[in-house]
Structure 1
Amino acid sequence: MVDLSPSEPMPRPANRPASEHTRRLGSALRQWAARGVGVVRVLDRHGFGTVEPGQLLAGNAEGETAGRLLLGALDPVAVPLAREAAPGRPRVADAHVTEPDAVAAGLACAGGATLLGHALPAELAEALGAALAEGRPAALASTADGTAHLVLTGAELTEAHGGLGTEAADGAAGEAARQLLRRGATSTERLTAEGVDLLLDLWVPVPTLLVVGSGAIGGALLAQAELLGWAGRAVTELAEARTALAGFTEADVLVLLDHAPAFDALLLDGITGGRGFIGALGSRRTQAARRERLLAAGLSERELARLHGPVGLDLGARTAAETAVSVVAEVIAERAGRTGSALAGAAGRIGA
């Protein structure tokens, strides 16, 4: 039995574009995994106003740190906890931030927090770091005393690393994490699973939408991205687009508007790179000509199947705004493993 109603819930703001520091945090976890990693998380807090969930600070014995807690306001307490974390010796510490220091850091008001610092075994640090760096969903569940840890990764959080002491606790924590994943937002929760008090941090990657080309549809796509809480940018030059695509994670989205054959190189990069959602607009004639060029360039039929072209669901869109809705609808459906059919005709769970 999983209780997802913590006594002091942490506010969950609407999704915002994922900042680069989360991906840098993942890279640091992977880099330090073999040498030993300590992490610090927010176990409980009061005050500070609205705070983004999924707060994590990592450090190693050499004094390096990555990530942040409450915009760095808790660093004086959190950084030593991370650097001194040792296997089997979790630590809990209280921190208080005054009003001037909180406001200077960008928080709304003063507050206090109870921090949990613990070592993260190499396998778990590698698994969590890879997911964060590559833009895949990930969860870190720990007993509230910091003695046992479970990392869940994968599109449905089905890949498990470590454990919480019993199969029942692992299963209950996994169920709770997947329930939260269906909400589609990064979360931090205190919960009880099979009688065990747990701290659960879930990271849901937020897409970055790369629009290549110009025009009304591009503007409408960026407006849709903003509405959804995605990051978005538009470029028109091939070189700039290829550079941006090279930094893609699994969560990111390319929509190519430009029909010029020169931009086939961008699609080749995206299809063979294997990361993210690759889509292209264009008429049936444009799509057929593009397809022949890509096959001639060496792509196989299987590889070409990764290209969503023409991108978008068949909604009968006529305006730029409606076209943008159809495009983001296909992205959402693809991420959820759905076909985009009418809910009235669906037999499965609604919204899951």
Structure 2
Amino acid sequence: MRRLSGSGVGVVRVLSRHGFGTVESGQIVVGTAGGERAGELYRGALDDSALPLVAESVAGPGTRDAHVAESAAIDAGLACAGGATLLGHPLPAGHAEVLGAALENGTPAALVSTADGATVLVLTGPGLETVTGALGSAALDEAAVTAARALLRRGATVTEVVPTEAGDLLLDLWVPVPSVLVVGAGAIGDALARQADLLGWAARSESDLDATVAAVEAFTDADVLVLLDHDPAFDAALLAGLRHGRGFLGALGSRRTQAARRERLLAAGVTEDGLARVHGPVGLDIGARTPAETAVSIVAQVVAERAGRAGAALAAAPGRIGA
């Protein structure tokens, strides 16, 4: 969702639906009183109902039933006809700014409201630790935060109605999918591509320096650099990542290679705090010996980093398993 200007922002979300076949979760439409729009619902099939409701929702919450006939649904690329109840409600400027920034930067985010759209709460951050807004009671806030963080652990974008004693909540959670940029060729790079595919992550390989630097400069928090090439020229990619401040930066290599790279980065003005952001040698210590095992160790470290975990054995971890 791109960030919209203006003080009045309205959002339309799917409160319930039937039909349409398999559709992606987390679809919303946002707009301003000035007519700006971003997003769509079900390939635009609900525009006749959703777009007027966006304009109305800037001023206050409301619902609208939408129905799509078989022919119109198929023309839009959906599997079959269906219907939905849409919820429109205002999104305070501060909430909209925080949510838009998180989605733009590839950071997990959740939008939670009461089922009538009267109150809104936004959660952002790797563990949804930053809370903006409130739902009107501490019990509702706690239910929203608990539900969102539990869903985050599943690792998938969802739209879900959360029942509570005080009424239902509508929760949209967006979990960015990591995209892995592998710089350099070889068996480890091939294994990383296969491992990323297994996890549903995107992966691509690059060998050109300028293209690599440009890609890293465009990173979101969900993006991953795995530098296999030991050529000192590719320090430029790490420097670009450190300047940009987003994404996971990893570099393979022996202790000697890492030490030499460290000295070059220090000479280039990188601080100790900056060096701590470069994972080198990249990967968790699982005793990996083959390219496939090395790929597992690398993606495991990415998963642990995104979850704010150290990557220790579950048996030694405090608290509830899977928490």
Work out whether the TM-score is over 0.5. yes
Residues 309-334 of structure 1: CA deviation (Å, up to 9, x unaligned): 01011222222211111110111111
Helix, strand or coil for the counterpart of 2:241?
A: helix
Question: Which residue is 1:45 aligned to?
Answer: 17
Identity, in percent, stands at 66
Question: Which residue is 1:81 aligned to?
Answer: 53
* C-alpha contact (below 8 Å) 2:304/2:310 kept by paired residues: yes
Question: Whose RCO is larger (CA < 8 A, sep 6+)?
Answer: 1
1:148 paired residue among 114, 119, 124: 119
Give 5+ residue unaligned stretches, structure 2.
none
Q: What does 1:253-272 align with in structure 2 at a 5 Å threshold?
A: 253-272=224-243
- The reply on whether 1:282 has 2:253 as its aligned counterpart is yes
Residues 207-250 of structure 1: CA deviation (Å, up to 9, x unaligned): 11111112221121111111111122211111111111111111
- The reply on whether 1:296 has 2:270 as its aligned counterpart is no
Per mean C-alpha deviation after superposition, the further-off stretch among 98-107 and 216-225 is 98-107
- The reply on whether 1:222 has 2:187 as its aligned counterpart is no
Distance in 2 of aligned mates of 1:52 and 1:41: 13
| Number of aligned residue pairs | 323
* C-alpha contact (below 8 Å) 2:127/2:308 kept by paired residues: no
Distance in 1 of aligned mates of 2:129 and 2:294: 34
* CA displacement at 1:63 relative to structure 2: 2.3
* C-alpha contact (below 8 Å) 1:186/1:202 kept by paired residues: yes
* CA displacement at 1:191 relative to structure 2: 1.6
Q: Which runs of 4+ in 1 moved over 6 A?
A: none
- The reply on whether 1:348 has 2:323 as its aligned counterpart is no
* CA displacement at 1:155 relative to structure 2: 2.2
Q: Which amino acid aligns with 1:101?
A: A
Helix, strand or coil for the counterpart of 1:179?
A: helix
Question: Which residue is 1:110 aligned to?
Answer: 81
Distance in 2 of aligned mates of 1:346 and 1:38: 43
* C-alpha contact (below 8 Å) 1:173/1:193 kept by paired residues: no
Distance in 2 of aligned mates of 1:347 and 1:126: 35
- The reply on whether 1:185 has 2:156 as its aligned counterpart is yes
* CA displacement at 1:279 relative to structure 2: 0.1
TM-score normalized by the length of structure 2: 0.95
Distance in 2 of aligned mates of 1:260 and 1:128: 39
- The reply on whether 1:64 has 2:55 as its aligned counterpart is no
* CA displacement at 1:64 relative to structure 2: 2.3
* C-alpha contact (below 8 Å) 1:142/1:149 kept by paired residues: yes
Distance in 1 of aligned mates of 2:125 and 2:165: 24
* C-alpha contact (below 8 Å) 2:226/2:251 kept by paired residues: yes
* Structural RMSD (CA): 1.5
Residues 11-64 of structure 1: CA deviation (Å, up to 9, x unaligned): xxxxxxxxxxxxxx1x33xx32x3311111000000111111111111122322
- The reply on whether 1:212 has 2:191 as its aligned counterpart is no
TM-score normalized by the length of structure 1: 0.88
* CA displacement at 1:345 relative to structure 2: 3.0
Helix, strand or coil for the counterpart of 2:185?
A: coil
Specify whether residues 195 and 84 from structure 1 end up closer, same or farther in structure 2 by C-alpha distance, changes over 3 A only.
closer
Residues 95-146 of structure 1: CA deviation (Å, up to 9, x unaligned): 1112222222222211111111112111111111111111111111111111
* C-alpha contact (below 8 Å) 2:32/2:58 kept by paired residues: no
Q: What does 1:124-135 align with in structure 2 at a 5 Å threshold?
A: 124-135=95-106
Question: Which residue is 1:236 aligned to?
Answer: 207
